[in-house]
Structure 1
């Protein structure tokens, strides 16, 4: 039997509910695309770090972190796909429609896992950005670094508390993430998380720009551009997540159905940003294809003596010297360069 012209075969729900269902399915598609991108980045990061696992204990920690993040994200995507199957196929004739079934069954394990994995992913990504901020500012001294991350640490703790409350409230019987109380907790949670990322991005970029401005007169232009390149990566990564997070936060607070799509984009963008940061950290100073910028700070110390036997040492120095250390001082490099220059002058005299 072919469809009859002019006969309505759609659901009986109101337009708002139908939009929620449309965007919910679209959000599932966005999560799948984001998972594919993250899988490529994760594979690249793990392969590189695995080859460097014996060089530093922090390499092993990053590998554990990546594996944990990947496992949680995989569970999240499986739960997301399973939820679509449960509400649209196995319970399509539920009174009120599939979306009403979703709202009425938030206490089920599949929905609790959805909220829990989403919360854990966000917390792990925020934690990594906080660690990056601490590493960058440690060059100014541990005391300054701890004072700088004091406020972001408090914000991270507050977001953890609010996220826990949001997860618990959203998974209660007769409640959902769109109910009044969970909606308030969720808005507060994502506001804290977004604010934390913006503050950390500003702090990291500020410190890198200070590096570049202070030592531009002492270092070659290729080396100075390294800081600008790193700042650009950090800013672009945070802007990618922040843009989608703001869109989700506004639409979620206004209870607009399109928030489901922005949630998928924000969740994927945050992890992509995280993997990009880890990839840049793992690659050391290999920011561009330029030979000078592909060297580590150790190779920069050897650059003035890149003649004769010193040239062979320089060739052996490359991306394998992964710089995970948090103690990083360009002033020491300048001092050593000046000392080398003084020795050359003395020998010439």
Structure 2
């Protein structure tokens, strides 16, 4: 077996393993977040939205994982003795319907996650529409490239790692990574601005709730963005490791919104008026510092 073929199979195995580990964490997060949301006093439409959104993401990732498992089971067990072995099966069956269906579900999950990130950026920036104009345009272009990639990958003997399908795939990954870089930078800059604004008047607990390290990592989806950049580099270079990185990134596509939903369910996520409440509290504490106490910022998911 050629070293590149072995590296591809190894990357596929590693990617599947990482993906299933993340999948288990997602199931726990969804169950726990759903419990917290149902026990909260949020308006019913909002509760139903987050429960439905998270549930749909879980279904999409389940289908994608099942498709990967079916493909690997056929390649390594059922069809391993076919001419050319697993490597020949891998090259010849990437366009099989179940594999394309798995790619489509993962792509749909990515579209949903990017949409949620766009909405969160809009909320964190105080519902300023002008802030998200450019990210919104990139988001629409990314969604278009995703659809084109899935359609092309369904063509007979198509290969998502080569040819026209790969060109659409690289364009999609480049656009969605660019989108996430911009949105992540906007969210982080906003949170750091408020962190500097309140650090002299609020306690460590109060600051960490909305502008701490965990808040920045989750609200901005920084790990997802960083791994997306790594995936883009390996995809463009045609490295075998792109398979493993891409599958891990595909799982993070669903993990990212579930971490945000958990913050919403816990009552510590940013809402449309969080920025104004932080500012008002800061001004109040500046003018009322002689009282010797500070009032907590009311949590309002």
Give the TM-score of the pair, scaled to structure 2: 0.85
Q: 1:326 aligns with which of 272, 275, 279?
A: 272
1:234 matched to 2:216: yes
Who is 1:154 aligned against? 137
**Alignment-derived partner of residue 292 in structure 2:** none
Contact preservation (8 Å) 2:122, 2:129:
yes
For residue 109 of structure 1, report the CA deviation from its aligned partner. Answer: 1.7
CA distance in 1, matches of 2:134, 2:286: 38
- How far apart, CA to CA, are the structure 2 residues paired with 1:21 and 1:222? 47
Asked if structure 2 preserves the Cα contact closer than 8 Å seen for 1:136 and 1:326, the reply is yes
Q: In the alignment, is the contact (CA less than 8 A) between 1:76 and 1:113 conserved in 2?
A: yes
Q: Does 1:279 align with 2:262?
A: yes
What is the aligned partner in structure 2 of residue 173 from structure 1? 156
> 3-state SS of the aligned residue for 1:149?
helix
CA offsets 1:100-150 (integer angstroms, 9 cap, x no match): 223323332211112101201211221111111111112xxx4xx110011
2:57 pairs, out of 42, 50, 69, with 69
In structure 2, the CA distance between the partners of 1:222 and 1:40, relative to structure 1 (3 Å rule), is closer
- 2:236 maps to which residue? 253
What is aligned with 1:185?
168
Native 8 Å contact 2:4 2:240 kept in 1: yes
* Residue of structure 1 in register with 2:95 after alignment: 107
1:205 to 185, 188, 197: 188
CA contact (8 A) 1:201 1:235 kept: no
Displacement of 1:232 after TM fit?
4.1
Q: Is the 8 A contact 1:24 1:261 kept in 2?
A: yes
The structure with the largest helix share of the pair is: 2
Conservation of the 8 A alpha-carbon contact between 1:104 and 1:173: no
* CA distance 1:339–1:262, change in 2 (3 Å): closer
SS at match of 2:61: helix
CA contact (8 A) 2:79 2:86 kept: yes
Q: Specify which structure has the bigger relative contact order, considering alpha-carbon pairs within 8 angstroms and separated by 6 or more residues.
A: 2
How much does 1:155 deviate?
1.0
Q: Residue 39 of structure 1 corresponds to which residue in structure 2? A: 27
Distance 2:115 2:166 in 1: 24
Which structure's CA Rg is the greater one?
1
> How far off is 1:213 after superposition?
3.1
In the alignment, is the contact (CA less than 8 A) between 2:184 and 2:225 conserved in 1?
Answer: no
1:258-337, aligned counterparts within 5 Å? 258-285=241-268, 325-328=271-274, 329-330=276-277, 331-333=279-281
Query: Are the equivalent residues in 2 in contact too, given 1:42–1:275 (CA < 8 A)?
Result: yes
In structure 2, the CA distance between the partners of 1:87 and 1:336, relative to structure 1 (3 Å rule), is same
Q: Which residue of 2 aligns with 1:14?
A: 2
Residues 1:130 and 2:118 aligned together? yes
Gap regions ≥5 residues in structure 2: 290-301
1:30 counterpart = 2:1:
no
Q: TM-score, normalised by structure 1?
A: 0.74
Q: C-alpha offsets along residues 270-317 of structure 1, whole Å, 9 cap, x if unaligned?
A: 3323222221222123xxxxxxxxxxxxxxxxxxxxxxxxxxxxxxxx
Q: Is the 8 A contact 1:91 1:101 kept in 2?
A: yes
Local SS of the residue matching 1:92: coil
Partner of 2:104: 116
Q: Structure 1: which 5+ runs fail to align?
A: 1-12, 286-322, 342-349
Tell me the equivalent position of 1:94: 82
> How many equivalent pairs are there?
287
Contact 2:61-2:254 within 8 A present in 1 as well:
no
Q: 1:81 aligns with which of 66, 69, 86?
A: 69
Say yes or no: does 1:58 pair with 2:46.
yes
Distance 1:232 1:34 in 2: 19
